[in-house]
Structure 1
Amino acid sequence: MTISVAETVALDIERKAIKHCARRNRLHSWLTWIYCGMFLMSFASFYAFWYTDTFSDYVLAQMKLRNGSRAFDWWQHPPIKIEYRIHLFNYTNVKEFEAGAARKLRVQELGPYVYRETKNRVNVVMHENDTVTFQEERSYEWIGGRPENDIVVMPNMPLLFVTAFVRDLSFTVRLVTNTVLSTLQERAFINETVGGFLWGYDTRLFHIAKPLIMLKRDIPFDKFGLLVTKNGVSKDRITMNTGSRNLDNLGIIERVNGIDNRKIWDDEKCDRIIGTDGSMFPPHLIKDPSKILYVYSQEMCRNLPFRFTEQVTTYGIPSLRYKFTPDAFNFSDTQNKCFCPKIDGSRVCPPAGLFNISACNYGSPLLSSFPHFYGADKSLLKQIDGLNPRQEDHESYVDIHPRIAVPMAGWSRLQMNLEVRRAIAVPFLGKLKDGMILPLIWMEIGVDEVPESIVEVLQSAHFTATNVEMALQWCSLIAMMLSLSALVTCLWKYRVQQDEIFRKKSSG
């Protein structure tokens, strides 16, 4: 059977049409798969940036303490210098009080005496379980305020320490102590320079007592001073979590001197070491305002609770303000009662607003409080004239970065007080009554000015990171919508072409 030229041409056209349709089908198939892949990728990005913490976790991962990282270098050698603004209570009517002409002692606040702290973390050892052990090295430089050579009248702390130490010892020991103190002609109050009182002054009583004290504890300094132990390398070795495995543990102190329980307060809960050293916090904690931030204080051997109070603006950044309130020194709260020292088997609590740190300081009669007894029992204000507690000047707070959970500003304000503990047969405390609380100094510890380079990093960690995160979120949303539209259009065109081919076959 012969095929005409027309039929041959028709068959050739039909074959070409079929090949063209096949090519178009393959193209549509490839485009369909490509658009499907793009949609799946954009949907995954959309889900990750909108419904998970992928980007935030990436930013926070830069906070992990790893050797060689900027975060580790800044942690080891902090670029921000802490200021100590120290206020002393000068006793102005000691002669009148001792003579019976004044019923109460009167104090005059002097200061501030401003010091800059330089802190480094030394003897650093990284461990395989993602913890780091270190010691803190501190030094202090006077940078302003009132001059250190101011002469002040202050309680004779070595005398009051010795009296408190021997009051429960045998009569023979107290008699020997009386003889020694008589020879030295010790008095209840002394005149001393501010620098000497804080950082060390010569006293014969301290030199005599030092060998006896060293039977129980090491004393690496040769002069007595209220803050002399702060200078130099701390004896405590702190083990802290680096956050490398779990950011939820970043900065958490694991152990002090190899133990996670200080065995100071004879109570498992109060002796347990939790919290950070205050230089950083686990970022997840600030997401829930009801969660408490804990700072472990080595000087007080306890965890200090900071509670969220309000949102503020710090260096142009919306930040979270947490406060350490006088409630922490309220021992009518059963949660705090375990911090009361045990005496003869039962706990003895100081008046509200005072925290007895004797157990943490080898029995020294020292107590902490807020400045001017802010938030404390009103009876404490009746013992001393010249005190004026004010919330705006005497409360403690810290402003936390809303993303990376590092302190940006804040002041810790605490006062050191001395409790009078008279001893029978040691009559050197004059008119001072047993149990009387004598304020010594109060300190503001914080940052007055942050270097511009640090402010830029803090602002970048908020504004830049937020803008990048928003850009990624919206780009992922737009990409998902465009890829979905392209996929739907491709499938629709394929369906139209298939319908057209079907019609042509049916009409042919």
Structure 2
Amino acid sequence: MPSGRKRQCASIVALIFAFTFVIIGIVGIVVGPKILQNQIISQLPLKVGSDQLDSWKTPPVPVYLQFWLWECVNVMDVTQGTKPFIVQRGPFTYLENRNKTGVYFNENNTVTYRQPISYTFLRNMSAADEFAQITMINAPIVTIVSLVRNQSNITQEIFNFFKNVFNESLFVKHTVREWIWGYEDPLLKAAKSIPILSDLIPDDHFGYFYGQNATDDGLYTVFTGASNINLLNNIDKWNGVSYLPYWRTLHGNQINGTDGSWFPPLINQDFQSKRLYLFSTDVCRSLYAKFERHSSVLKIPTEIFSIPSEVFLNATLNPDNAPFGSYDSGVLDVSACRQGAPIFISLPHLLYGADQYVNAVDGIAPDPSLHRTIFEVEPHTGLVLSAQKRLQINVQIKPDPLIDDLKHISETILPAIWINESTTIDQKSANDLNNKVLRFFTIVRWVSILLIPVGVLIFVATIVIVAKRRSRGTFTPIINARSSNSVEVDDD
């Protein structure tokens, strides 16, 4: 083959490669992530034998539950109507041991399970031993007073008599362990023995998390994501129902979202308008988190979602909150799901609370950077790589002319205990996620980005070389070469 034809073929091959590299690069940038995401979506649904099932049943990353208890340091003054001065004690840290049991796959693309959780105290991550003594509001007394307030005066006087007999006061001292996990209360036990009071007293033990150690919080049925990936891990039923019995409207009672441990993938969604719904048995309702900003956890890109202040506004400022009661911003009355106890839920330190609640106590210092609930979500998988779930339990105290200790006090939403349930992915789990899933996005992106300039470079180099050959007269078109040869033969 003449050298001119070889050079021409080489140039054509180079141009074909150049165009191929550019096209593959563009297609890789535009379509590559979608192909990879579709592959991930096909692997995410929960099913027997899936890669996700084991880690879903037994989370590989440790979860910690920290408690801060509010100790009242001016007890005598409070009973005379003075504003409470409270000091937080803690943290007292426990490791959560959780494992889903009774996992059963249903025919309608849902899975049913229970999740017992037990807690192990971690002294090295705590401010003191769990047997430290702390003085706090005597919640059993306040609870009984709330329950008998609508009863006859005789009933209230009988209770006041028994309270004095047992020398119970408005503030009492117990260990941290007792305040959290429960203790037998002699007044509650005595009250249960009185026919006129027994039906009003649900239990003779009290603890803010009594009955929640080594137990589960109900029977869950969640969507597997097989029929619709946007329903992945969303709760279909809790304890066999899709609606709660606690609130004023059907909308308020609806169970929406996941349990907050895993959300559907977030890719190709408008973060600014996206709401991540979650259901919490601690607050007896569904909440939502909104996008805040981009972030990263152990160099893995994530999106931060937080529960916004609007969730805690009163019904006047946020009509969507009308089903949840008529109290002012920042507190939620959950007595309906706490056996009638005057328990109110808020964020720690009454963050976002109305002035009337914040100004009624001394010692709190609400700080959004420390007291909000946030989730850092990996968008391709919806996995929560880091979370800080925070809430506070408060006790409402009201004056009562028939109860000695309550005759002179001021009505107050008094902070009792606040918690932070936190988790962050460890390095091994981060490496596994990156190696099995996320690194392919990086490979495809960078290969695609590199192919485009390489293709352009080959194209430009080929054009330059061809142009130089033409200018030097060393490149002769094939058709001209053939014409020249035929003329020479004729001359011969």
With normalisation by structure 2, the TM-score equals 0.80
The structural deviation recorded for 1:82 is: 1.0
Residue number among 87, 106, 117 corresponding to 1:138 in the alignment: 117
Counterpart position of 2:414: 438
1:303 and 2:278 correspond = no
Preserved contact between residue 330 and residue 336 of structure 1 (Cα < 8 Å): no
* Residue 337 of structure 1: aligned partner: 321
Please name the residue that 2:365 is paired with. Answer: 388
Partner of 2:162: 180
Number of the residue aligned with 1:281: 263
1:118 aligns with 2:94: no
Match of 2:30 in 1: 50
CA contact (8 A) 1:374 1:389 kept: yes
Identity across the alignment (%): 24
1:456 aligned onto 2:414: no
In the alignment, what sits opposite 1:489? Answer: none
User: Quick one: distance in 2 between partners of 1:49 and 1:233?
Assistant: 49
Equivalent in the alignment of 1:372: 349
- In structure 2, the CA distance between the partners of 1:238 and 1:465, relative to structure 1 (3 Å rule), is same
Give the 3 Å change call, closer, same or farther, for CA 210–308 of structure 1 in structure 2: farther
**Partner AA of 2:95 in structure 1:** R
Equivalent in the alignment of 1:505: none
1:40-61 superposed Cα distances (whole Å, 9 cap, x missing partner)? xxx9998698348232121233
Correspondence for 1:31: none
1:248 Cα deviation after fit: 1.3
Distance 1:473 1:390, change over 3 A: same
Contact 1:396 1:411 in 2 (8 A): yes
Q: Is the 8 A contact 1:89 1:110 kept in 2?
A: yes
TM-score (norm 1): 0.78
Task: Show the counterpart of 1:6.
Answer: none
Letter in 2 for 1:237: L
Going from structure 1 to structure 2, the CA distance change for 1:93 and 1:428 (only over 3 Å counts) comes to closer
Q: Cα offset for 1:422?
A: 4.5
Whether the 8 Å CA contact 2:242–2:254 is kept in 1: the answer is yes
Question: Does the Cα contact within 8 Å between 1:240 and 1:251 map onto a contact in 2?
Answer: yes
The DSSP-based 3-state class of the residue aligned with 1:309 is strand
Structure label with greater radius of gyration: 1
CA distance in 2, matches of 1:57, 1:390: 41
Task: Report what 1:467 is aligned to.
Answer: 442
User: Which of 366, 381, 385 is 1:404 aligned to?
Assistant: 381
How has the CA–CA distance of structure 1 residues 215 and 240 changed in structure 2, closer, same or farther, with 3 Å as cutoff? farther
Corresponding residue to 2:275 among 292, 300, 321: 292
C-alpha deviations, 1:285-321, integer Å up to 9, x for none?
7732131101111121211111101111211122111
Contact preservation (8 Å) 2:82, 2:409: no
Cα deviation for residue 277 of structure 1 reads 0.4
What is the deviation of 1:404? 0.9
- Counterpart contact for 1:84–1:445, Cα < 8 Å: yes
Change over 3 Å in CA distance of 1:46–1:194 after alignment to 2: same
Cα 1:391–1:461 change in 2 (3 A) is: farther
> Structure 1 CA distance, aligned partners of 2:53 and 2:452?
36
Query: 1:74 aligned to 2:55?
Result: yes
1:323 partner letter: S
Residue 135 to residue 285, structure 1, CA distance change in 2 (3 Å): farther
**Distance verdict in 2 for CA 1:200–1:156, change over 3 Å:** same
- Amino acid in the other structure paired with 2:209: L
Match among 313, 325, 336 for residue 296 of structure 2: 313
CA RMSD of aligned residues (A): 3.7
Structure 2: runs of 5 or more not aligned: 1-18, 457-477, 483-492
